[in-house]
């Protein structure tokens, strides 16, 4: 029978012989090629044989069910299926025998070549026998649920696995592992061989429930498991040898390189599912097993600021559970020591009181250095950020400067902010203020608030703020950091300044109607709410000079008419004035003297005479010695007045003469200067106020807690007080105990009967 002539549909032997010749051409004589005509004839031979009428069935078709209601096409195909299976078995047995002649890479070449040919042919065979798939195979699987019947393509793979793979996989796997080891040793290999083997293993993992899918069972059992085991052995040997002979930085480079190689290996020729198990195994062998040695080198890298190596160490140890914990602990300790050392160094340089600018900039420099390190070397990881914050909190609040008082650091910070927000050649930049707030971790926020509010008040009263926008921006940032309650009074201070400006504009109109008073004083008043401003009443009497008293009376009446019932308390110790000189011999133009109100009161006396005794000046101004002496001392020191008689300012026998030969390099001469002794007194008073405020806050917290809980143990009460107040300051246990004793005396609380460590709230 010629190839162009189809066999009889009723003759099985003729049909199979015809098909067998076609199979032989497809599997063994592939160089001949299969024409579309030949393909169509082979397909038709299968179709004609299986689709013949039920009456023409041969006895060999007894595999099929003889239920009369089924169509005949569903019943024929078993003989062809069985014959095809036998043919494939014989074909693969021949390949298996031939494979025994090859080893190692030659075996891989042979195996992959045969696999590619076989699977290409299998797809073609599957199409030729498609009619059986659609009817006979489908009916066998769906209705009879036979586990040894597959669609034709799956049959080809199952047969490969059973006849060939079962016997050659040991040698194939061994050859693959040798090839991979050669690549790890730096040799160039033909990766396509491994890729083909891997693909064949994946394809052979057929899902018993759905043969169109792979369950990777063959790949995992026969390839992945031995591959991972071999990987572990290889890197265990290499890493132990390398780390014993090289430095930690060199080992980390090696480990990083090896990990990258393995990840690349997955992309090149392994199945994607191997990525996780392979990388995890490499992380254990290369990193976890040597984590202690690696982390031991952390301190030296920090000392030398080796950021690239630090980043490499971070990325390696981040791969393993808890790998970064030792680094975070060491980093925190290192930053704390660096901060304490910075403060120690500037403390040695500063012979007198610590300069706020020097102090805060030293803290900022340490924070910036290590914050940059966290962001670059440690990718801004939250654990390192927390370690940095904790370390900064330690060296800011417990350094050399804070040994005498924990309140010193927030005071210096407030003074530094004050210097930034004052008028100067360089106006404050917003990011500069933000750096201060974000970088300096002050525990005693109440101290900072107290000093900051006092300094804000001085800037606003004296008109020395760089800008209203800068002040507002700073208060907004404080509000974000500490909350509304912390900044509410600060915000009201800015509001008062705005209202005062409007009030002064209205008073200007009133002044114009009183020009006939003869006063040539330019009179400006700040009216401020007593509850919002940290300003103390004057500690001395003051006789308002005649040149001022008329405008003073006019403003009093103006304000009372506008706000009936309100009382103005004049804070002359904060007032200032500018006086123009017209008495000097050497200067016709004269000078403008910037003075305090008390200095003004003294100097205006010299409009009537050029020489006064101390007693006369004190009687005329009404000032107490504590207020008089500093004001007078600055005038004498600047040689506006000369001291005659008496050894020093304030002596009863001293006399003060107007210096008509006064000279200055500046036209505007600032005499309104706070002495360092005054600043120290003011600082001490502020700290004293803070201590008093804390006592009241602690007592209020105790009462609030006891009112809610009714009964509490001593230790629990102390812990609760610390928890509630730590956002403002960290209360000392001893101070809390004292406050408890005060409240016991005042009978806000009482000891529970028979229990000394238990308190009850007294309603």
CA distance linking residue 271 with residue 259, whole number of Å: 17
Confidence at 644, pLDDT banded by 50, 70, 90: confident
* Bigger pLDDT: 280 vs 520: 280
pLDDT average, residue stretch 430-451: 71
CA distance linking residue 187 with residue 441, whole number of Å: 56
**Which residue in 430, 398, 402, 405 sits closest to 417, CA to CA?**
430
Helix (H, G, I), strand (E, B) or coil at 206: strand
CA distance linking residue 190 with residue 179, whole number of Å: 9
622 in Cβ contact with 543 (< 8 Å): yes
Q: What is the pLDDT of residue 485?
A: 74
Q: Is the pLDDT of residue 74 over 60?
A: no
Q: What is the pLDDT of residue 511?
A: 73
Q: DSSP alpha helices (H): ranges in 67-211?
A: 78-99, 104-128, 130-132, 138-139, 152-159, 166-184, 191-204
Mean pLDDT of the chain: 85
Burial of 594 (0-12, 13-18, 19+ CB in 10 A): middle
The residues that bridge with 214 in the sheet, in sequence order, are 206
641 in Cβ contact with 629 (< 8 Å): no
The model's pLDDT over 364-413, given as tens digits with 9 standing for 90+, comes to 899 999 999 999 999 999 999 999 999 988 888 888 887 767 778 888 88
Q: What is the pLDDT of residue 435?
A: 67
* Bigger pLDDT: 550 vs 430: 550
* Bigger pLDDT: 381 vs 140: 381
Helix (H, G, I), strand (E, B) or coil at 299: helix
CA distance linking residue 239 with residue 654, whole number of Å: 89
Is 575-673 assigned to CATH 3.40.50.300? no
**Which residue in 158, 186, 117, 269 sits closest to 109, CA to CA?**
117
> If you write DSSP's letter for every residue of 644-706 in order, what string do you get?
ESSSSTT-TT-EEEE-TT---SSSEEE-----HHHHHHHHHHHHHHHHHHHHHHHHHHHHHHH
CA distances from 552 to 135, 452, 524, 618 (A): 114, 31, 10, 21
Confidence at 213, pLDDT banded by 50, 70, 90: low
Q: What is the pLDDT of residue 351?
A: 56
Could you count the other beta carbons within 10 Å of the beta carbon of residue 629?
Answer: 16
Three-state helix/strand/coil letters over 318-366: CCCCCCCHHHHHHHHHHHHHHHHHHHHHHHHHCCCCCCHHHHHHHHHHH
Q: Is the pLDDT of residue 197 over 90?
A: yes
CA distance linking residue 43 with residue 46, whole number of Å: 5
Q: Is the pLDDT of residue 59 over 50?
A: no
CA distance linking residue 20 with residue 444, whole number of Å: 94
Q: Would you kindly state where each structural domain of the chain is located, as residue ranges?
A: 12-215, 575-673, 679-761
Radius of gyration of the chain (CA): 48
Angle among Cα 215, 218, 223 to the nearest 5 degrees reads: 125
Confidence at 565, pLDDT banded by 50, 70, 90: confident
User: Rounded to the nearest 5°, which phi and psi values hold at 399?
Assistant: -105, -170
Confidence at 547, pLDDT banded by 50, 70, 90: confident
393 in Cβ contact with 441 (< 8 Å): yes
Q: Is the pLDDT of residue 335 over 70?
A: yes
pLDDT average, residue stretch 91-119: 94
Q: Is the pLDDT of residue 149 over 50?
A: yes
Q: What is the pLDDT of residue 679?
A: 64
* Bigger pLDDT: 5 vs 627: 627
Q: What is the pLDDT of residue 406?
A: 72
CA distance linking residue 150 with residue 356, whole number of Å: 86
Confidence at 65, pLDDT banded by 50, 70, 90: very low
Q: Is the pLDDT of residue 180 over 90?
A: yes
Confidence at 440, pLDDT banded by 50, 70, 90: low
Query: Which sign does the torsion angle of CA 227, 229, 235, 237 carry?
Result: negative
Share of the chain above pLDDT 70, in %: 89
CA distance linking residue 691 with residue 586, whole number of Å: 53
Q: What is the pLDDT of residue 2?
A: 53
Q: What is the pLDDT of residue 146?
A: 61
* Bigger pLDDT: 108 vs 60: 108
Q: What is the pLDDT of residue 69?
A: 36
CA distance linking residue 724 with residue 736, whole number of Å: 12
pLDDT average, residue stretch 276-299: 95
Q: What is the pLDDT of residue 373?
A: 95
* Fold agreement (12-215, 679-761): no
Among the listed ranges 43-57, 103-117, 538-552, which one has the minimum average pLDDT value? 43-57
Q: Is the pLDDT of residue 519 over 60?
A: no
The model's pLDDT over 10-58, given as tens digits with 9 standing for 90+, comes to 889 999 999 999 999 999 887 777 888 888 999 999 999 888 744 444 4
113 in Cβ contact with 99 (< 8 Å): no
Tokens representing 748 are 């806000």
Tokens representing 599 are 């200095």
Three-state helix/strand/coil letters over 18-57: HHHHHHHHHHCCCCCCCCHHHHHHHHHHHHHHHHCCHHHC
Q: Is the pLDDT of residue 293 over 90?
A: yes
Give the sheet arrangement for strand 641-644, strand by strand.
611-613, 655-658, 641-644
The residues that bridge with 761 in the sheet, in sequence order, are 749
pLDDT average, residue stretch 430-436: 65
**Which residue in 651, 664, 517, 504 sits closest to 581, CA to CA?**
664
Task: Indicate the CATH number for domain 679-761.
Answer: 1.10.10.10
The model's pLDDT over 246-264, given as tens digits with 9 standing for 90+, comes to 999 999 999 999 999 999 9
The model's pLDDT over 575-606, given as tens digits with 9 standing for 90+, comes to 989 899 888 876 667 889 999 999 999 999 99
Q: What is the pLDDT of residue 434?
A: 65
Confidence at 429, pLDDT banded by 50, 70, 90: low
pLDDT average, residue stretch 192-208: 87
The model's pLDDT over 674-731, given as tens digits with 9 standing for 90+, comes to 765 566 677 777 878 888 888 889 999 999 998 888 898 999 999 999 988 887 788 8
Long-range contacts of 483-487 (CB under 8 A, 24+ apart): 483/727, 486/445, 486/449, 486/728
Q: Are strands 655-658 and 711-713 parallel, antiparallel or unpaired?
A: unpaired
Could you count the other beta carbons within 10 Å of the beta carbon of residue 135?
Answer: 21
The fold of 12-215 is 5 helical Cullin repeat like (1.20.1310)
Q: pTM for the whole thing?
A: 0.73
Tokens representing 365 are 């420099």
Q: Is the pLDDT of residue 306 over 90?
A: yes
Give the sheet arrangement for strand 711-713, strand by strand.
711-713, 758-761, 749-751
User: Rounded to the nearest 5°, which phi and psi values hold at 541?
Assistant: -75, 160
Q: What is the pLDDT of residue 518?
A: 52
């Amino acid at each position: 029978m010629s190839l162009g002539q189809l066999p009889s549909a009723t003759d099985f032997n003729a049909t199979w012989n015809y098909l067998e010749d076609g199979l032989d051409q497809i599997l063994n004589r592939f160089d001949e090629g299969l024409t579309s005509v030949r393909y169509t004839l082979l397909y038709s031979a299968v179709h004609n044989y299986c689709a013949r009428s039920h009456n023409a069935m041969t006895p060999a078709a007894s595999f099929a069910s003889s239920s009369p209601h089924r169509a005949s096409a569903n019943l024929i195909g078993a003989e062809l299926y069985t014959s095809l299976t036998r043919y494939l078995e014989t074909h693969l047995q021949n390949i298996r025998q031939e494979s025994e002649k090859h080893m190692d890479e030659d075996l891989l070449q042979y195996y992959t070549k045969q696999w590619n040919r076989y699977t290409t042919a299998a797809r073609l065979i599957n199409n030729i026998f498609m009619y059986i798939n659609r009817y006979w195979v489908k009916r066998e699987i769906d209705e009879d649920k036979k586990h040894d019947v597959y669609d034709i393509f799956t049959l080809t793979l199952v047969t490969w696995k059973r006849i060939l793979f079962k016997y050659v996989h040991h040698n194939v796997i061994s050859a693959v592992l040798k090839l991979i080891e050669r690549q790890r040793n730096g040799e160039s290999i033909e990766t396509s061989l491994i890729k083909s083997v891997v693909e064949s293993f994946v394809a052979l993992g057929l899902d018993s429930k759905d043969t169109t899918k792979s369950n990777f069972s063959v790949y995992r059992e026969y390839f992945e498991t031995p591959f991972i085991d071999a990987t572990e052995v290889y890197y265990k040997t290499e890493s132990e040898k390398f780390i014993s002979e090289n430095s930690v930085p060199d080992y980390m480079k090696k480990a990083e390189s090896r990990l990258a190689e393995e990840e690349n290996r997955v992309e090149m020729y392994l199945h994607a599912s191997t990525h996780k198990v392979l990388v995890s195994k490499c992380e254990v062998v290369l990193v976890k097993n040597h984590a202690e040695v690696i982390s031991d080198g952390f301190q030296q890298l920090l000392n030398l600021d080796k950021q690239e190596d630090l980043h490499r160490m971070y990325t390696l140890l981040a791969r393993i559970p808890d790998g970064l914990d030792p680094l975070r602990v060491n980093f925190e300790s290192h930053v704390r020591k660096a901060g304490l050392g910075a403060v120690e160094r500037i403390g040695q340089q500063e012979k007198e009181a610590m300069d706020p600018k020097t102090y805060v900039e030293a803290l900022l420099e340490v924070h910036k250095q290590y914050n940059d390190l966290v962001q670059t070397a440690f990718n801004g990881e939250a654990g390192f950020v927390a370690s940095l914050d904790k370390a900064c909190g330690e060296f800011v609040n417990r350094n050399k400067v804070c040994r005498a008082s924990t309140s010193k650091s927030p005071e210096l910070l407030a003074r530094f902010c004050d210097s930034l927000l004052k008028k100067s050649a360089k106006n404050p930049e917003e990011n500069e203020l933000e750096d201060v707030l974000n970088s300096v971790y002050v525990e005693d926020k109440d101290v900072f608030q107290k000093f900051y509010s006092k300094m804000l008040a001085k800037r606003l009263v004296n008109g020395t703020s760089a800008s209203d926008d800068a002040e507002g921006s700073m208060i907004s940032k404080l509000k974000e950091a500490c909350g509304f309650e912390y900044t509410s009074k600060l915000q009201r201070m800015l509001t008062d300044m705005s209202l005062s400006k409007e009030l002064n504009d209205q008073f200007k109109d009133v002044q114009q109607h009183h020009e006939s008073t003869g006063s040539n004083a330019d009179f400006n008043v700040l009216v401020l709410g007593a509850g919002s401003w940290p300003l103390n009443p004057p500690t001395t009497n003051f006789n308002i000079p005649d040149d001022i008293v008329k405008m003073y009376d006019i403003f009093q009446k103006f304000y009372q008419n506008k706000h009936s019932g309100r009382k103005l308390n004049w804070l002359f110790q904060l007032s200032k004035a500018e006086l123009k000189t017209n008495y000097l011999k050497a200067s016709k133009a004269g000078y403008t003297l910037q003075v305090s109100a008390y200095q003004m009161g003294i100097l205006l006396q010299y409009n009537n005479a050029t020489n006064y005794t101390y007693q006369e000046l004190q009687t005329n101004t009404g000032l107490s010695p504590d207020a008089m002496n500093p004001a007078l001392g600055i005038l004498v020191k600047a040689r506006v007045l000369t001291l005659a008689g008496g050894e020093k300012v304030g002596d009863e026998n001293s006399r003060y003469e107007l210096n008509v030969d006064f000279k200055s390099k500046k036209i505007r001469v600032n005499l309104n200067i706070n002495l360092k002794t005054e600043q120290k007194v003011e600082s001490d008073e502020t700290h004293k106020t803070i201590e008093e405020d804390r006592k009241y806050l602690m007592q209020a917290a105790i009462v609030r807690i006891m009112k809610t809980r009714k009964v509490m143990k001593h230790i629990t009460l102390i812990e609760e007080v610390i928890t509630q107040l730590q956002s403002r300051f960290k209360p000392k246990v001893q101070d809390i105990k004292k406050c408890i004793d005060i409240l016991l005396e005042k009978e806000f609380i009482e000891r529970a009967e028979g229990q000394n460590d238990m308190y009850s709230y007294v309603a």
